[in-house]
Amino acid sequence: MIPAGLYTAARFAIILGTVISLFAALPLSKSRGSHALQKEEHQPQQKPNDATQFGVNAYVGSKVCVQCHAPIASKYSRTDMGRSMSEITASLLENIPNSASLVDERLQKHFDLYVEDGKLFQSEYEKSPDGEEVFRETHEVNWIIGSGANGFGALLKRSDFLFEAPLSFYSKTKSWALSPGYEFGDYGFNRPILPGCITCHSGQPRAVLDGNGRFLEPPFHELAIGCENCHGPGAAHVHEMQEGDSNEATNSPTHSIVNPAKLKPWLADNICMSCHQTGDAMVLRPGKDYRDFKPGMPLDDTLAIFMVPPRRDSPQTDLLEHYFSMALSKCYRSSGGRLSCITCHDPHVEPPKQEAPAEFRAKCLECHNEKSCALPVAVRQHKTPPDDCAGCHMPKRQVQTIAHAVLTNHRIVAQAEEPYPDAAFHMASPQTPDLVHLTAIPGTQGDAISPLLLLQAYEQLMIPNPEYRGRYFALAKQLESTNPTNAHVLEALAALALEQKDDGKAIETLSAAVKNGSTSPQTYEQLGTFLVRAKRFSEALRVLESGIKLLPYDAMLHQLLGISYLSVGKNDEARGLLRQAVQAFPQDRALRQLLRNSEGKSTPTNP
């Protein structure tokens, strides 16, 4: 696709300009409860499910695990991960803030959150200057996502698609406000939940890869992050425990179930990295889905994570760079690769806030002693909390990309503003001198990276890091002869054509990308825009009609198709489509204006 940063900012101006020019020529025609990992009271003990019905490598769900591991499951269910996602229930609504009203002056929109008949709803609406409602859209919230450590968001289901709701709750301010990302624009109730995100925020999601928010039914086999997310599929283990049969095919250092503590430290860290290390670019291997990664296997076989090499003058990155930071710590570098995430973290237990400083201090003292700290004991004891190793050496910081959120610095620094160690500036390899390959399997750092993989990494990098722009285009030209039907290559060539202001070439390559299986919303939007701008309406109709079948919640495709219908005299089809579109996307002013124009109504003062 043409990178969103090149395109999104200008796309609505293009559409509105097209609308104006075409119509000039056309006639008017509180704490949350624990998850279901805990056994319900008064529920009869059930015999563990026969794992053979699932298949030897299948997932069985945490409810099966809890039948033999109830004490540890009970502890885990109270952790943030064990409460990562919840269905809306009456008991949940009693324990979360469930009423709010706010106005966003920049968007000029109003938002409400309320409970009615035991269900949670969010509304978005707009008012005209005289106080009348221009539109109101209300949806039931189906799930809460997040444990509340930093906050939680709201998800809703429309047909077989899942979307983020406009409002999220922020624990620091104890208030509902616009969800992360809505500072860039009003997505209404149409911001899709994508596989790469939901994989890390839930237990067993069933998101369709490249489905742009489409999910299988049911959308989740397990809501919260559960046992098998870290221990791998449990069917073989259940079968072994039931039958006393250790299958040689499943024999590994951990036999029929993965115990991260018995893995090599880097393999154990790969489990954590899959969600706690974002890097600057994350690229799935060809033919892989996020669900293909299983604990105990190298993450890089499924997902490659890259980072722009740090520069001495660059600021510390935000968001989830926990593994990268840990790997730069003196503790990690002195351990000879023995230190891992679970050296200090027990995923099954989350100490209460008041007990955490002492608990992590005890972890530090497994390697250090009282004399390791240069600060006098008397000074340390007068701090609040006293003798807090992590508080001094792993300071928390505000996250710049998400409002009201904080994260812990895992670099374990001596001083809060300590610069990166020299090792940070020598992490690239000869094969990827312009990237740090964070998921590279130890001993394979010198292996060549697939050019197609690099192309996708460069695409993600080129907007925030313009130095990758030329490399992206050069690699696309290189791959044009060897991979002429690859959708990623064709979308890169379209981006190059746009850069060179060659609309004809852009249409050619985008059309080829669609023909070769692209499901990218930007690709369909861009192709539709170029075809409408070139007044190639018959082609536009075919592309946009097929695009809407694939992407039924894309407002821009509906705008472009409405314009195309009107341009070829299909006025009834245009009005029918636009009425449905305004119902689906009432917050979209351009769609509302387009419908008014198609119906021959005068333009109001405040469209």
Q: Which CATH number fits domain 4-27+448-598: 3.40.30.10, 3.30.1330.200, 1.25.40.10, 1.10.1040.10?
A: 1.25.40.10
- Of the pLDDT bands very low, low, confident and very high (cuts 50, 70, 90), residue 330 is very high
143: three-class secondary structure by DSSP = strand
pLDDT at 605 over 70: no
In whole angstroms, how large is the CA radius of gyration of the chain?
27
pLDDT in the model for residue 400: 59
Q: Could you tell me the end-to-end alpha-carbon distance of the chain, in angstroms, rounded to an integer?
A: 31
Residue spans of the domains in the chain: they are: 4-27+448-598, 33-84+224-261, 85-195, 322-426
SS3 of 359-405: the string is HHHHHHCCCCCHHHCCCCHHHHHCCCCCCCHHHHHCCEEECCCCCCC
| pLDDT the model gives residue 300 | 96
Mean pLDDT of 75-98: 96
Residue 100: partners with Cβ closer than 8 Å, 6 or more residues away: 111, 112, 113, 167, 175, 176
Tens-place pLDDT, residues 131-152:
999 999 999 999 999 999 889 9
Among the listed ranges 231-245, 449-463, 542-556, which one has the minimum average pLDDT value? 231-245
Give percent helix, percent strand, percent coil of the chain, each to the nearest 5.
Answer: 40, 15, 45
Low-confidence winner among 107-121, 191-205, 216-230, 444-458 (lowest mean pLDDT): 444-458
Task: Report the pLDDT value the prediction gives residue 246, as an integer from 0 to 100.
Answer: 57
Q: What is the pLDDT of residues 420-431, one digit of tens each?
A: 899 889 899 888
Give residue 404's pLDDT: 52
- Give pLDDT, residue 524: 98
Res. 405 pLDDT band, cuts 50 70 90: low
In the prediction, which pLDDT does 256 show? 86
Over range 271-275, report the average pLDDT. 95
Peptide bond before residue 376 is cis, with ω within 30 degrees of 0: no
What residues are paired with 140 via a beta bridge?
121
**Average pLDDT of span 80-93:** 96
Q: Mean pLDDT over all residues of the chain?
A: 87
Question: What integer pLDDT is reported at residue 379 of this predicted model?
Answer: 87
- pLDDT-derived band at 11 (thresholds 50, 70, 90) equals very low
Backbone angles phi, psi at 6, to 5 degrees: -75, -25
pLDDT tens-place string over residues 290-315: 999 999 999 999 999 999 999 887 65
Of 477, 483, 482, the residue nearest 495 (C-alpha): 477
Average pLDDT value for residue range 467-477: 97
Distance CA 117, CA 46 (A): 33
